[in-house]
Structure 1
Amino acid sequence: MRRVSVDHELLRRAVADPEVLHWHTWAALAPGPSLVVLGAVHGNEVCGAHAIVRAIDDLTHGRLRLLRGRLTLVPVANPLAFAQATREGERNLNRRFLPQPEPQDYEDRITRQLAPLLAQHEVLLDLHSFHTPGDPFAMVGPRNNSGAREPFARAAEEMALARALGAQQVVEGWLEVYDRAAGLRGELPDDEGIGTNEYMRSQGGYAVTIECGQHEDPEAIDVATRAIHGALAHLELAHVPAPPRFAGPAARLKDVVLRESPADRLAQDWHSFDAVQAGDVIAHRADGTPVAAPYDGCVLFPHPEAEVGQELFYLAEPDAG
């Protein structure tokens, strides 16, 4: 598929000067929730950036009007990665999103600016895409809990927003399984698991990521646009057509399998949400040993090009509530 071109002045500005972040805020006089929307946290995931500049144009020219609350739109959250058309500038912005007293890299400097902005809002919508074909899906965080790792008390609000974005799949439980992957690598859970959503929850807000489609698919821009409209409608920030709500069960992340050798391989061309039954072979190790599903569920985030030590695929099962 063709790469979506950088065809808007705001995006050209981000490419021309990655040392400057640009965002746009509208504040209605009527009180209401505050929403921040991020695009291009990963620079090769361009759909969010293009959808956000559409929304900025609509707000600027009166085709869209904020009725209450506050709305901040950040088209390009990682200008260096966006300019390079790479996932990251110097590292993954969405894996250690915590302000550092002494920033060590480009993404640390981005975080120093974006983290206070997120903390000033109540709700985050983070627009992403993925590398293999598949249907869009929304991602939420943990259930309500008082644990030390990711305490949370707004799971119902978060799930309601995820169901309002137009994606017909919702995935929950990211950080717990990400920590499990770290354990398989012999690492202790640490700040590497903290992304924009986890940071937003730590500040008392709630957050949803929507994966809008394959990176280079121009239709992903329309998915991202519907997600923005869905959030605005759900939060009653603007009068916009709301996409269909997702009413089915969420998929709960449960397991992760790492690539142990360059010769490890997926057993077929898996897509996210492909169903598997217990015993189905999902991958083979380098020596031919099969990696089979231990229970009925679905494959998520298959990554045939994963490096050794990285996630080859995840497994999820339907959430029984």
Structure 2
Amino acid sequence: MAKPMPHNSAPLQAAAGLDDGPLESIRFTGLAAGPKLIVLGAVHGNETCGPNAIRRVIEECRSGKLVIRRGEVTFLPIANPKAYRLKTREGDRNLNRDMREKPLPANYEDRIGNHICALLRQHEVLLDVHSFRGAGEPFVFFGPQDNRGELEPFRQAQAEGAFAACLGVPVVIHGWLDNYARLIAAREKLDLPRLSVTEGYGTTEYMRFAGGYGVTLECGSHDDPASIEVGYAAILNALAHLGLVDAPAPATAGRTVIHITQVIICEAEGDKVEGDWKTGDALAKGQVIARRANGEAVTAPEPGFIIFPNATAKPGEGICYFGVKSTRTL
């Protein structure tokens, strides 16, 4: 017979410090067949446009102003309650990294991540609503083309691309996971602690792994009230596009499609972005993007766009990403 675990065991001590508050999800089921959509907010706790936009749509569903006729939609307004309560990006770690089931969770995000993964498996389509620091135009991240590769095999690129195009924002970007692999390789050359490629997996990557498809919507600046409106309009467009409600199909926005092709990594303290850039800003060939601590300029290798400029990058992090006009059409 197994001995009982002593009261002063390490696992119990670790568990005692975890936040065990529940995840609240709200589901509306139409009376006719249709796809199953899930909408997430506050995967990062300081990104409040998602919860605000989602709650607005929930109230319209409850009041009858918006009627789910077909399929199902599940709303998870606050995916990371601890971080949301603390008004921080994360509780113990970034929930939108290393998203997968973990039989022995090591921290709070592991614990809620297990439940979020279970929810994602119950659905076919994901809309994950985010915001970002600083100024910039809203944009959508979508996934790879159909492929049978090892990194992110996929077979619903056409449906996912159409979904990304319907959300009403002008810029759509792809190439995240391939570029994360480049970041790992660049870190290795600097003899920094090795990262696993699974660190690049977030909610949408897990959704594709589970057989569905999904996109990340970046609605704008964290504190800009307009970000809530972008999120709200995108949710309504998603419901109409998928046929869950009786509404005209949304028009596809005028779009810039960007393929991320390069990461510019911070190699030493003092490496920094040069210029007041925003994601999606156009770059001319040879234009200075960043400058090394020794004064060396980092320039655009060809005409393209800057993605995720990071003024506070530490060694091993991306100063920014570089992308080009994509050959893909949505």
TM-score range, shorter chain: over 0.9
RMSD over aligned Cα, in angstroms?
Answer: 1.4
Deviations 1:21-42 (A, max 9, x none): 1000011120000000000000
Q: CA deviation at 1:242?
A: 6.0
2:258–2:325 CA contact under 8 A, matched in 1: yes
**Matched residues, number:** 305
Aligned residue in 1 for 2:163: 161
CA distance in 2, matches of 1:317, 1:114: 33
2:95–2:109 CA contact under 8 A, matched in 1: yes
TM-score, structure 2 normalization? 0.90
2:240–2:250 CA contact under 8 A, matched in 1: no
Aligned residue in 1 for 2:57: 55
SS in 1 for 2:229: helix
Q: CA deviation at 1:286?
A: 0.6
Give 1:71's match in structure 2, choosing from 73, 85, 88: 73
Deviations 1:66-88 (A, max 9, x none): 01000000000000111111111
Aligned residue in 2 for 1:13: none
Give 1:292's match in structure 2, choosing from 269, 275, 299: 299
SS in 2 for 1:31: strand
Gaps of 5+ in 2: 1-18, 189-193
Deviation larger for 196-205 or 185-194: 185-194
2:54–2:77 CA contact under 8 A, matched in 1: yes
1:256–1:314 CA contact under 8 A, matched in 2: yes
Aligned residue in 2 for 1:4: none
Q: CA deviation at 1:259?
A: 1.5
TM-score, structure 1 normalization? 0.92
SS in 1 for 2:34: coil
CA distance in 2, matches of 1:193, 1:84: 24
2:164–2:172 CA contact under 8 A, matched in 1: yes
Aligned residue in 2 for 1:26: 28
Aligned residue in 1 for 2:318: 311
CA distance in 1, matches of 2:76, 2:248: 22
Deviation larger for 185-194 or 211-220: 185-194
Q: CA deviation at 1:267?
A: 1.3
- CA distance change for structure 1 residues 158 and 54 in 2, over 3 Å: closer, same or farther? same
* Structure 2 counterpart of 1:54, one-letter code: R
Give 1:233's match in structure 2, choosing from 233, 240, 246: 240
SS in 1 for 2:32: coil
Aligned residue in 1 for 2:205: 198
Q: CA deviation at 1:190?
A: 2.7
Q: CA deviation at 1:306?
A: 2.0
Aligned residue in 1 for 2:111: 109
Tell me if 1:220 matches 2:203: no
* Structure 2 counterpart of 1:314, one-letter code: Y
Deviations 1:170-195 (A, max 9, x none): 10111000111111111364321111
CA distance in 1, matches of 2:310, 2:146: 30
Q: What percentage of aligned pairs have identical amino acids?
A: 46
Q: CA deviation at 1:102?
A: 0.7
Aligned residue in 1 for 2:128: 126
Q: CA deviation at 1:244?
A: 4.0
1:229–1:241 CA contact under 8 A, matched in 2: no
Give 2:142's match in structure 1, choosing from 137, 140, 143: 140
SS in 1 for 2:83: helix
Tell me if 1:269 matches 2:276: yes
* Structure 2 counterpart of 1:198, one-letter code: E
Q: CA deviation at 1:247?
A: 4.4
Give 1:185's match in structure 2, choosing from 184, 187, 208: 187
SS in 2 for 1:82: helix
* Structure 2 counterpart of 1:136, one-letter code: P
Aligned residue in 2 for 1:43: 45
Q: CA deviation at 1:300?
A: 0.8
SS in 1 for 2:33: coil
Tell me if 1:245 matches 2:252: yes
Q: CA deviation at 1:245?
A: 1.4
Determine which structure has more spread, i.e. the larger CA radius of gyration. 2
1:284–1:290 CA contact under 8 A, matched in 2: yes
Give 2:100's match in structure 1, choosing from 86, 98, 101: 98
Q: CA deviation at 1:241?
A: 6.5
Aligned residue in 2 for 1:152: 154
SS in 2 for 1:55: helix
